[in-house]
Amino acid sequence: MMMDTRAYLDAHFPQFEPELKAEMAEIAEIRNIPAGETLMRTGQNIRSTVLVAEGRLKLYREGHDEGEIFMYYLEPGNACALSMICGQQQETSGVMLKAIEDSTVILVPVKFMENFMQRYKGWYNFVVETYRERFEELLTLIDHIAFRAMDERLVYYLGNQREKLGTSKLHITHGEIATDLHSSREVISRLLKKLEQQGKVKLHRQYIEML
Amino acid sequence: MMMDTRAYLDAHFPQFEPELKAEMAEIAEIRNIPAGETLMRTGQNIRSTVLVAEGRLKLYREGHDEGEIFMYYLEPGNACALSMICGQQQETSGVMLKAIEDSTVILVPVKFMENFMQRYKGWYNFVVETYRERFEELLTLIDHIAFRAMDERLVYYLGNQREKLGTSKLHITHGEIATDLHSSREVISRLLKKLEQQGKVKLHRQYIEML
DNA sequence: CAACGATGGTGACCCAGGTCACCGTTACAA
DNA sequence: TTGTAACGGTGACCTGGGTCACCATCGTTG
């Protein structure tokens, strides 16, 4: 189904003022991203704020030499906090955005940010709230990797997945989990088995059932 | 030396519009924090944005049960990004602010934030820039603890200290470094000695000289 | 059906770094 | 002067988790 910018804004950004949505519809660009594709921000400077209209994307922090770590999901109604900030300079800051479902994003050139900020409370609140949430999320990530052991991180990860994906049958491979937690498949397999013995999950081929 | 709010603003926040500074001087509160004192934000909700006028503070992330990790310094002219966000709800988000020098902060109640944001470009730019810098800093922290080994983190830490403190004689104990990196004194001592053998630093009692 | 790739299980091994125990040195206070 | 606390050094030991090697199972495609 093909929708136009205004329809997406109406559907997922109800808190925006009608006039704001009208202005945005004029200037924004729509982009479709097929599942699996990554918007690497490692060189290509995004000069637009990214609003998610459809689908689901995963945001990763990339290590200096190979390796990555999962930060958080972006869903319809969310925005990429980084893309709101990075705009002015082409700082790329080793972050990777990957679509895990076919997704649609709305790109609003950053040059309008300041103007919208001053004229629309709906936009101001949205931006502040976005920063706040992502900041919290990064702090949570920091204390997980700094203070928690892998088994605890795994439990948290699985809980998070269930919540975000809205199902307790997680169709995710051990290898993917290992990538997201920046660990290795073997370790994740071992820990999962331990969780199964504790009766917290049930392992199946291709998916994990949470109990 | 006792200065008033306006004098501090003139000294360290030259990018603010004169009218903004005038308004702020009316409503802001000044607080002095002696060296060593901590503004724990674990329960006490800061309803004000914290601007640093004098001194130097360290911001830590606290672990769930004891333990902490150093995030970054706040210096005159900086603001605590978290205090800009957390304001509305009393979310405390396990962060600790510790003065390492006698410090003075300017507290601007958050209820003025939105208003200033819309009326003063100087304030808007300051806030956006603050978010951007701190976000970057958190991302850097994340990839250090996620991807780097302790020796590399130590080197980075020392370089950072030299830069921020403006001297290559670092008056800091091994124990403090261990706390900041969330490691243990013995490990830091061993790694420092290795760095000394590599000719990168010279160890003295009470301070470390960087070469 | 055969072959291959993706997935997952398992044991053996290794190592960074956390912990423990203990000691030496320096500074400062009683 | 003598405690005493802070600081720093060092060896012994342990463990979480990363790595390697290899094998089993399943689904898909030629």
- Between A185-197 and A174-181, two packed helices, what is the crossing angle to 10 degrees? 110
Give the CA-trace dihedral at A113, A116, A117, A119, to 10 degrees.
160
CATH 3.40.190.10 describes domain B149-210: no
Q: What are the tokens at B190? A: 């061993």
Report pLDDT for A43. Answer: 46
Instruction: Report the C-alpha gap between A52 and A55 in whole angstroms.
Output: 8
Q: What are the tokens at A194? A: 């331990």
| Alpha carbon distances (Å) from B195 to A128, B172, B192, B198, B200 | 43, 16, 5, 5, 5
Instruction: Report the C-alpha gap between B182 and B185 in whole angstroms.
Output: 10
Q: What is the pLDDT along chain A (211 residues), one digit of tens a residue?
A: 568 899 999 999 999 999 999 999 999 999 999 988 888 765 455 678 899 999 999 999 988 777 899 999 999 999 988 877 765 555 566 888 999 999 999 999 988 988 898 899 999 889 988 988 898 899 999 999 999 999 999 999 999 999 999 999 999 999 999 999 999 999 999 999 999 999 999 999 889 999 8
Task: With cut-offs at 50, 70 and 90, classify the pLDDT of residue B43.
Answer: very low
Give strand D nucleotides closer than 7 A to any protein Cβ. 6-12, 16-21, 26
Tell whether A76 is within 8 A of chain B (Cβ).
no
Higher pLDDT among residues A191 and B135, named by residue: A191
Q: What are the tokens at A137? A: 């999320």
Q: Tell me if A16 sits within 8 A of A6, measured CB to CB.
A: no
HEC string for chain B: CCCCHHHHHHHHCCCCCHHHHHHHHHHCEEEEECCCCEEEECCCCCCEEEEEEECCEEEEEECCCCCEEEEEEECCCCECHHHHHHCCCCCCCCEEEEECCCEEEEEEEHHHHHHHHHHCHHHHHHHHHHHHHHHHHHHHHHHHHHHCCHHHHHHHHHHHHHHHHCCCEECCCHHHHHHHHCCCHHHHHHHHHHHHHCCCEEEECCEEEEC
* DSSP category for residue A79: B
Q: What is the DSSP string of A136-204?
A: HHHHHHHHHHHH--HHHHHHHHHHHHHHHHT-SEE---HHHHHHHHTS-HHHHHHHHHHHHHTTSEEEE
Tell whether B152 is within 8 A of chain A (Cβ).
no
The sign of the dihedral angle between the CA atoms of A116, A120, A126, A132 is positive
User: What contacts B69, CB < 8 A, 6 or more positions away?
Assistant: A142, A143, A146, A147, B60, B61, B63, B141, B145, B180, B181, B182
Q: What are the tokens at B31? A: 């607080």
| Residues of A (85-104) whose Cβ lies below 8 Å from B | 85-86, 91, 93-95
Instruction: Determine the distance in angstroms separating the CA of A3 from the nearest CA of chain B, rounded to an integer.
Output: 32
- Which one of B85, B117, B128 has the shortest CB-CB distance to A132? B85
Chain A CA closest to residue B183? A146
* Residues forming CATH 2.60.120.10 domain(s) in chain B: 5-146
| pLDDT tens, residue by residue, A128-184 | 889 888 988 999 999 999 999 999 999 999 999 999 999 999 999 999 999 999 999
Instruction: Report the C-alpha gap between B133 and B81 in whole angstroms.
Output: 9
* Residues forming CATH 1.10.10.10 domain(s) in chain B: 149-210
| pLDDT tens, residue by residue, B76-104 | 999 988 877 765 555 566 888 999 999 99
- Between B121-147 and B150-165, two packed helices, what is the crossing angle to 10 degrees? 150
User: In which residue are the tokens 């009766």 written?
Assistant: A199
> B70 has which bridge partners?
B60
Q: Which nucleotide is nearest to A190 (CA to C1')?
A: C9
| CATH fold of the domain at A5-146 | Jelly Rolls (2.60.120)
| CATH fold of the domain at A148-210 | Arc Repressor Mutant, subunit A (1.10.10)
B166: alpha, beta or left, given left = phi > 0 and alpha = psi -120 to 50? left
